[in-house]
Amino acid sequence: MDKVFITGLEVYCTIGVYDWEKSIRQKLVLDLEMDHDNRPAAERDDIALALDYDRLSRRVTDLVSQSPLELVETVAERVACVILGEFGVARVRVRVAKPGAVANAREVGVEIVREA
């Protein structure tokens, strides 16, 4: 199966378990990888047959930025559900990183793989 990927998608949102986090916006960085058959789009050079990564990126950004949550695990699950449900892919890998969450680490986060 072919892969379509989006790496380093930066989204600012309200995320965290501490009271001080609930009043600020923080950056999350998402990496997405979707199984998608690219042959029909390539054969016809037709965006309508492709997995539209621009539309997908905007949808994920809207979802994450508008939903105050406590856990990056919840972000990953919701993103996976939207991609599987709205974009017709059979499998998705979602990696959500929260830079600066631990003082002496560049980033922390989760990675999940879900199938339809």
3-state secondary structure of 80: helix
Name the strand (E) or helix (H) holding 107.
strand 107-115
List 3, 22, 27, 98, catalytic entry: 98
Q: Where does residue 50 rank: exposed (0-12), middle (13-18), buried (19+ CB within 10 A)?
A: middle
3-state secondary structure of 92: strand
C-alpha span between 60 and 45 (Å, rounded): 25
Give yes or no: 98 in active site: yes
Closest among 114, 83, 86 to 9, alpha carbons compared: 83
Positions annotated as catalytic residues are: 98
